[in-house]
Structures are given as structure tokens and as C-alpha cells.
Amino acid sequence: MDARIKLLRILAWLSAFFVICSFLMLIGFLIYHGAPVINTSLFFGNTAPLEAITGSRPVWDGIWPAFIGTLCLVGLTMAISLLPGIGCGIYLARYSEGRKKEMLSMAVDLLASVPSIVMGLFGFVLILFLRRTLAPDATTCISLAAFCLALLVMPALVVTTRSSIESLPDSLVTTGISLGFTEQQMLLHILIPAAGKGILGGIMLAMGRAAEDTAVIMLTGVVVNSGLPAGLGSKFEALPFLIFYTAAQYTDQEELLRGFGAAMVLLMLSAALLYAASKLQRTMEKHWKGAR
Amino acid sequence: MKDNKNTPIWLKASAAYVSSLMSALFIFIALCAVDGLMKSGPSLFCSVWDPERGNFGILPMIWASGLLSLSSLITGWTFSVGCCCFIHGFGPRWAARFLANILRIMTAVPTVVYGFASVFLLVPLIRNGLGGSGFSWLTASIVLSLLIMPTMVLSMDSAFKTIEAQTSITSAALGFTREQNIAMVVLPASKQWIWSSALLGFGRAAGDTLIPTMLAGNAVQYANTPLDAMRTLTAHIGLVLSSDVGGTAYLSLFVAGGILLFVSISANILFRLMRKKIWMQG
């Protein structure tokens, strides 16, 4: 017994040491190099910020196009995935039972376990298929990337929506019924507002995943130099791909520093989204804890 | 309360939409993989990747994927068990809280950021300290194990919490210290949870693309020592498709995608089965 505890004690300290040290070293290294370069010239390069923001002059040596590309991509992804994701979550929580429920929740679970590169491959196959059948000049573009990312973030949306609706106290539903609400009214006026914070948390989580993923967009139309995304069918730039590309192909110190800056910006973006998500979920849990 | 007749139509529609997307993904990837297997058959399972001469061997990539994901799983899993013990009584309280917070923050760090920082920090360290180019199995394995740890620790941690809550009073009455309780009671009792979270970690490790692409060197070869470069299936798909080799080379990628899909789905189904068994017992 003593030997076992001693062994575990060594393992515990060793692993804590490993995690804390490597994490602090990696992130510290990043902040050390990345924090000083965060300023307007990181975003806009030599272009005047106002002209860059209005798009009247292209930005060549800043991360602005990639930043906007990522924002557009995330926005488009959410536009595609929000309604079906939340709808499916509510359906799972309230309107399905037995075998159907089990099958659907298993499907969502399996979808969550599909590696993101396979999602990208799916998008690629889809384009090949479209080219052979309906649209001979279809090509990879921002809408395709958003469609595949929507698949990737769907499980997060479904699962958080489902668990926030399921965590609501039964008395809410009973009250609704006793007041003569129809299902539709109950959903819109009682359940969705009550679970709102949890659902919003899920949305933030999904946005974070969409913003950070690189493997999917790598196969579905991201490029290094396209400027601001021109439309739904155009190629686009994105922060994660810019970082990925810089790590392998940088040519001078300036580009390298831009890469560090981009990594910092992406890190802050995704940390902020995840922080908001966990905060929202925790307030919701606290709110309904006494009412169950 | 389940009145299926009154289900709002948009909910039904979205459930149908999600499940049809899911089946479309499976059918497309599976069909393409089978198609690739039929068309290029045995030539896939050789060791030479030379598209210009018609050699599409993906065996080295399969080998690399297996090796990399298993090695990072073993280190990551061992350290995860260690971290869980540290959080539950083996470490001082402030350090335990610190570690738990760090693990939570780690889930928020984008994979590409890990990769980027490692390229400029870990790769030179390994190059200068151990030799080679620095882009190697070892480098990728270290970062990958760090990447998959939060998922595993969080899933083990919830089991630890439940079981510790159930047993702590009894074992304290028997004169166990908290450490002894963890080592002799909680750890054996949560055995199945601990094993099943390894499956979770394996799925993530096998499916990750960025870390192997950025850190493992991408040479098509059988890596034998930790300092050798390797190219995994995921990295292979990404590299070939984004550099547009074109034509028949695609077929081998579809097979690679099919293998990845099959492996990650099987890991997930196994995970579900194990968890179900635990539920039944509990």
C-alpha cells in the first residue's frame, strides 16, 4: 500500500509539473513575442486604418483581411448552423423518446467524434460531386467552408441546447400548461427564454470552435492572399490558416512577428469566447439550482 | 409531457436536417473510400508514395498515425491519471486549484496556436539538445499528448468527484487518509471511467491534423526512432489536397479519410458501450 501511494505521489507531482511547465512555457513564449507587436500596424500594415476598414484600399502587410475573413466565416457558419442546431437540441430534449431519441443522440455524438480533416474531405468530395453533376464550375469557397464548419460545430450546439432545456425545472412546464399555453407558445415564451443563457453559452462555444479550426478550411478554399472576402462564392483568408502558413513559409523577421501577432489575436478571440461560454453556463446553473 | 402530435414543424425539420447531413457525410466518405479501394486496390498497401509513377502507398502513413496517436495517448493518459490524483488530494490545495484552472484554460487554446509556439520553442530545443531536424515523432507526440490531456482529465475528474463523495466519509472512519482513499478506493472503483476516457483521448489524437503537419516533419517513411520524421494520415490528406497533386492521387486520400472515419467512429462507439455498461452497473 505504501509503495503504491509513493508511486502515485511521484506520478502526480510529475504530471502536474509537466502540464504546468509546458503550458506556461508555450503560452509565455507566445505572449513574450506576440504581445509587443499588437498595434494598429499589425492589423493594417502601411494602409491607413480608415481606408482599410472601408475596404477602399487593400491591406497587403497586415492581418486585417485574415481577421475579417475569420469573422465572416464564423458569422456565416453560425447563420447556417444556428437554427438546425438549436432546433435539434430542443427536439431531443422535449419531443423525442425511446429508440428515436437514442438514435438521434447517438448520431450527434458520432458527428462530434468525426475528425475535422474528414469534414474538410467531405466538403472537397461534395465539390467534386457537384462539378460532375449540377455545376461544372463549382469551386471551393467561403460558403463551402462555412457549410463544413457548420457540421463541425453542430454537435456543440445540439448538446448544450439539449442539456440547458433538460436542466429546467418541471414546474415551469406544469405552470405553462396550467395557464393554457400551446406547445409553440410555451417554447417561445417560457422554455427558450429560461434556457437562454445556456443556449447562448453553446453558441459561444460553437463560435470558438469555428474560429480556431484549421483543418476544415484548409481543404475548402482558404488562401493566403485574397484580400477581404468578396462574396459568398469567393476564396478567403483566415487567421488560423495565416498562422499555420507563417510557421512553415515565413521569409523574414517581419512576417514571423506578424505570425506571432496573429496567434495572439486568435488566442485572445477564442479564450474570450470560451470564457463567455463557461460564465454564461455557470450563471444559468446557479439560477435554476434552487428551483429544482 | 411528450405530445408528439404537437411537435412544432421546425423542430422536426431540424432534427431531420441534422440526421440527413450526418448520413450524407458517412455515405459520401464510405462510398469514396470503397471506390478508391476498388480502383487502386493493392497498390495502396505498399510503402512507396510517388504519385508521378503511380505509386500511392499509404502504409507508412497508417503506421505513423497509429504510432503517433498511441504514443501520445500513453503519455497523455498516464499524466492525466497523475493530474487527477494531484487535483484530488496528492497536491497542496492551492496548487491543485491552479492546475485545474490551467487545464480549463487549455481547452480554449486553438490547436494551431500550440503548433505555432512549438515550432519556434520546442523544435529548436529538440534540435539542439537531441539532434536531428527537430521535426520529429517525439516533438509531435509531446505536444499532442498535452493537447489531448484536458479532455481526458475532465472526464476522469467527474468520476473521481462522484466516487470520492460517496466513499470519503466511510474511509475516513476506517482511518484512511485522503491520499490512501484515492489510491486504494477511488482509483480502483473508477477503473472503467479511466479506461473509457483513454478512448476519448485516442479519438482526438488520431484525428488531429495540425500538430502532426506542423511538427512531425512529413517525410514519407517508417519512423523507427523518436527523432525520425513521419507523416500521418491526417497530415497526408491536408498536404496533398492543399498542394493540388490532382487526378488519381485523390483516390488514396479517400481511402485514408475512410480509415480515419472508421477508427474514430469505432473508438466513439466503444466509448459509448463502456459508459452504458457503467450506467447499468451504477
ipTM for the assembly: 0.87
Is the per-residue pLDDT at A76 higher than 90?
yes
Same domain flag for A22 and A119: no
Query: Which residues, including other chains, have CB under 8 Å from residue A109's CB and lie 6 or more apart?
Result: A155, B268, B272
Same domain flag for A29 and A71: no
Is the per-residue pLDDT at A99 higher than 80?
yes
pLDDT band at A155 (very low <50, low <70, confident <90, very high): very high
Most confident of A48-52, A250-254, B277-281: A250-254
Same domain flag for A25 and A98: no
Instruction: Indicate whether A82 belongs to any domain.
Output: yes
Distances (CA, A) of B90 to A19, A23, B166, B175, B188: 15, 21, 19, 17, 16
Instruction: Indicate whether A52 belongs to any domain.
Output: no
Amino acid at B123: V
Is the per-residue pLDDT at A83 higher than 70?
yes
With CA atoms as reference, the chain B residue closest to A268 would be B109
Report the phi/psi class of residue B232: left, alpha or beta, with left for phi > 0 and alpha for psi in -120 to 50. Answer: beta
Same domain flag for A143 and A266: yes
Same domain flag for A170 and A26: no
Mean pLDDT over residues A76-96, rounded? Answer: 90
pLDDT band at B4 (very low <50, low <70, confident <90, very high): low
Q: Which of A28-32, A245-249, B151-155 has the lowest mean pLDDT?
A: A245-249
Contact B115 A244 (CB under 8 A): yes
Q: Which of A242-246, A261-265, B190-194, B219-223 has the lowest mean pLDDT?
A: B219-223
Closest listed residue to residue B18, CA positions, set A220, A205, A207, A153: A153
Helix extents (H) in A133-195? 142-166, 170-178, 183-185, 192-194
Is the distance from CB of A88 to CB of B14 less than 8 angstroms?
yes
pLDDT at B33: 87
Instruction: Indicate whether A45 belongs to any domain.
Output: no
Instruction: Indicate whether A267 belongs to any domain.
Output: yes
Give the integer Cα–Cα distance in Å for A64 and A53.
8
pLDDT at B145: 93
Mean pLDDT over residues A261-285, rounded? Answer: 88
Same domain flag for A96 and A207: yes
> Shortest CB distance from B110 goes to which of A187, A266, A275?
A266
Provide the number of structural domains found in chain A: 2
Instruction: Indicate whether A172 belongs to any domain.
Output: yes
Same domain flag for A2 and A142: no
pLDDT band at B245 (very low <50, low <70, confident <90, very high): low
pLDDT band at A286 (very low <50, low <70, confident <90, very high): confident
List, for residues B23-59, the tens digit of each pLDDT value: 999 998 898 888 888 877 677 777 777 766 667 778 8
Which residue range forms the structural domain that includes residue A226?
Answer: 63-289
Instruction: Indicate whether A241 belongs to any domain.
Output: yes
pLDDT at A35: 86
Instruction: Indicate whether A140 belongs to any domain.
Output: yes
Most confident of A18-22, A96-100, B87-91: A18-22
Mean pLDDT over residues B14-24, rounded? Answer: 89
Strand bridging mode B49-50 / B55-56: antiparallel
Is the per-residue pLDDT at A292 higher than 60?
no
pLDDT at B141: 93
pLDDT at A25: 92
pLDDT band at B1 (very low <50, low <70, confident <90, very high): very low
Q: Which of A37-46, A167-176, A196-205, B230-239 has the lowest mean pLDDT?
A: A37-46
pLDDT at A290: 59
Mean pLDDT, chain B, whole residue set: 86
Residue scoring higher pLDDT (A187 or B97): B97
| Residues listed for chain A | 292
Q: Domain spanning B4-281: which superfamily?
A: MetI-like (1.10.3720.10)
pLDDT band at B226 (very low <50, low <70, confident <90, very high): confident
Residue scoring higher pLDDT (A136 or B122): B122
Same domain flag for A263 and A124: yes
Closest listed residue to residue A215, CA positions, set A116, A76, A113, A127: A116
Is the distance from CB of A208 to CB of A274 less than 8 angstroms?
yes
pLDDT at A220: 85
Q: Where are the beta strands (DSSP E) in chain B?
A: 49-50, 55-56
pLDDT band at A73 (very low <50, low <70, confident <90, very high): very high
> Shortest CB distance from A88 goes to which of B7, B14, B184?
B14
Contact B15 A183 (CB under 8 A): no
pLDDT at A29: 92
| Residues listed for chain B | 282
Instruction: Indicate whether A148 belongs to any domain.
Output: yes
Same domain flag for A30 and A69: no
Same domain flag for A67 and A185: yes
Most confident of A18-27, A34-43, A91-100: A18-27
Mean pLDDT over residues A94-118, rounded? Answer: 87
Give the integer Cα–Cα distance in Å for A88 and A98.
16
CATH label of the domain that carries residue A174? 1.10.3720.10
Share of chain B above pLDDT 70, in %: 94
pLDDT band at B238 (very low <50, low <70, confident <90, very high): confident
Residues of A in contact with B22 (CB under 8 A): 107-108, 110-111
Contact B29 A271 (CB under 8 A): no
What b/e sequence results for A246-257 when a residue is b if at least 16 CB atoms lie within 10 Å of its CB, and e otherwise? bbeeeeeeeebb
- Give the DSSP letter string of A87-139: HHHHIIIII--HHHHHHHHHHHHHHHHS-HHHHHHHHHHHHHHHHHTT-TT--
Interface test mutation site (partner B, options A11, A19, A274, max chain B beta carbons within 10 A): A19
pLDDT band at A64 (very low <50, low <70, confident <90, very high): confident
Same domain flag for A88 and A216: yes
Interface test mutation site (partner A, options B25, B72, B264, max chain A beta carbons within 10 A): B25
Residues of B in contact with A29 (CB under 8 A): 117, 120-121
> Shortest CB distance from A122 goes to which of B15, B28, B264?
B28
Is the distance from CB of A61 to CB of A225 less than 8 angstroms?
no
Domain boundaries, chain B: 4-281
Distances (CA, A) of A46 to A41, A42, A50, A58, B238: 7, 9, 12, 10, 33
Same domain flag for A4 and A128: no
Distances (CA, A) of B258 to A262, B32, B191, B261: 33, 8, 32, 5
Is the per-residue pLDDT at A291 higher than 60?
no
Is the per-residue pLDDT at B248 higher than 80?
no
Residue A277's Cβ-count burial label (10 Å; 0-12, 13-18, 19+) is: buried
List, for residues B79-120, the tens digit of each pLDDT value: 999 999 999 988 899 999 999 999 988 988 999 999 999 999
